[in-house]
């Protein structure tokens, strides 16, 4: 159990927890590393608005001054957006030193799950999770997000794993770790920018209440980890698979040529794909995040 003096809750989140109101956690790496300024701040603030419109309290998470924060102010969100890559991209491994040094950090999926679980928040909306990178059989580049899903009891709502990854191996890894994967209104894993990957998911649900019931069942069973709900990007914003896959291949080749590795890989690839597609990938990214927040709020409202 994380000590209370390490956790900072906004008054709105604290009141929602005290009164058993629905809450949705949101990450902050998407603000600092996932999008350019000012779209990053606009997207984060719109996510909070959409969450409230769908009946839940938003809890954007980050590390501020060495504290695990759930529920950022507009000023803190703007600060993360302006600082961008100068803010530490914080995963599980980074939290102890950020706390010790009283530094700031933008939380990844893994770190946001840790903050959410510490605060008692059970549902988290993001864009896409990390996963097994292409070529991981030699690089061993596997996102800590997958391990966190196996260990931390938070339901993550996303548009699948980012399509820059090896989606087949990512699904195999989740199966090995025993993470329940549910397709919302779909029988296959969405590929982030597109609705289909051809990779089946083990379960489908068309009802947010049914998903909430599954979360409660997981808790009753004593499962230590979380759950993954994959929610396809809305049809009108889905990109052409050939266009986006060509852009991804080109971006990956550029990353290899420039020696980009580790936690810098995903931000580099997303930025390159945005440039190659003339910004259309960023537009799709923003819309799929909004779609995930709506669904997460509905699931949280049924818990």
Interval 205-261: pLDDT, tens: 999 999 999 999 999 999 999 999 999 999 999 988 888 878 878 887 888 788 877
- pLDDT tens digits along 98-129: 999 999 999 999 999 999 999 999 999 999 99
Task: Summarize the confidence of residues 75-94 as an average pLDDT.
Answer: 97
Q: Which of 167, 103, 130, 102 is nearest to 27 (CA)?
A: 130
Nearest to 31 by CA among 92, 70, 83: 83
Residue 48 clears pLDDT 50, i.e. is over it? yes
Confidence class of residue 2 from pLDDT cuts 50, 70 and 90?
low
Report d(CA 255, CA 303) in Å as an integer.
42
Enter the tokens of residue 35: 């999008």
Question: What is the average per-residue pLDDT within 66-88?
Answer: 97
Q: Is 226:148 a contact under the CB 8 Å cutoff?
A: yes
8-44 b/e (C-beta count within 10 Å ≥ 16 → b): bbbebbeebbeeeebbbbbbbbbbbbbbeeebbbebb
In order of 24, 194, 235, the CA distances from 284 in angstroms are 21, 9, 10
27 is catalytic: yes
Determine which one of 27, 89, 263, 298 is catalytic.
27
Q: Which domains does the chain have, with CATH numbers?
A: 4-301 (3.40.1790.10)
Cα–Cα distance, 247 to 219 (Å, whole number) = 41
Catalytic residue flag (residue 162): yes
Candidate list 67, 89, 162, 298, residue with the active-site label = 162
């Amino acid at each position: 159990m994380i000590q209370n003096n390490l956790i900072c809750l906004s008054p709105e989140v604290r009141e929602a927890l005290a009164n058993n109101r629905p809450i949705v956690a949101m990450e902050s790496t998407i603000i600092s590393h996932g999008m350019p300024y000012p779209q990053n701040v606009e997207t984060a603030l719109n996510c909070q608005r959409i969450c409230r419109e769908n009946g839940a309290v938003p809890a954007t998470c980050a590390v501020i001054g060495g504290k695990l924060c759930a529920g950022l102010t507009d000023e803190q969100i703007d600060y993360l957006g302006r600082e961008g890559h100068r803010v530490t991209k914080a995963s599980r491994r980074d939290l102890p030193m950020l706390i010790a040094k009283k530094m700031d950090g933008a939380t990844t999926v893994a770190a946001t799950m840790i903050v959410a679980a510490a605060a008692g928040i059970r549902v988290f909306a993001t864009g896409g999770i990390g996963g097994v990178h292409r070529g991981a059989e030699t690089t061993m580049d596997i996102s800590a997000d997958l391990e966190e899903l196996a260990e931390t009891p938070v339901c993550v709502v996303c548009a699948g794993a980012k399509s820059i990854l090896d989606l087949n191996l990512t699904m195999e890894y989740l199966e090995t770790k025993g993470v329940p994967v549910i397709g919302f209104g779909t029988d296959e894993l969405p590929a982030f920018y597109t609705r289909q990957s051809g990779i089946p998911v083990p379960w489908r649900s068309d009802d947010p209440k049914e998903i909430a019931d599954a979360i409660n069942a997981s808790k009753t069973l004593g499962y230590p980890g979380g759950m993954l709900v994959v929610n396809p990007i809305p049809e009108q914003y889905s990109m052409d698979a050939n266009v986006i896959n060509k852009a991804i291949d080109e971006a990956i080749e550029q990353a290899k040529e420039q020696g980009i590795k580790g936690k810098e890989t995903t931000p580099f690839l997303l930025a390159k794909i945005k440039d190659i597609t003339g910004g259309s990938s960023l537009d799709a990214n923003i819309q799929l995040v909004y779609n995930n927040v709506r669904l997460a709020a509905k699931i949280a409202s049924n818990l």
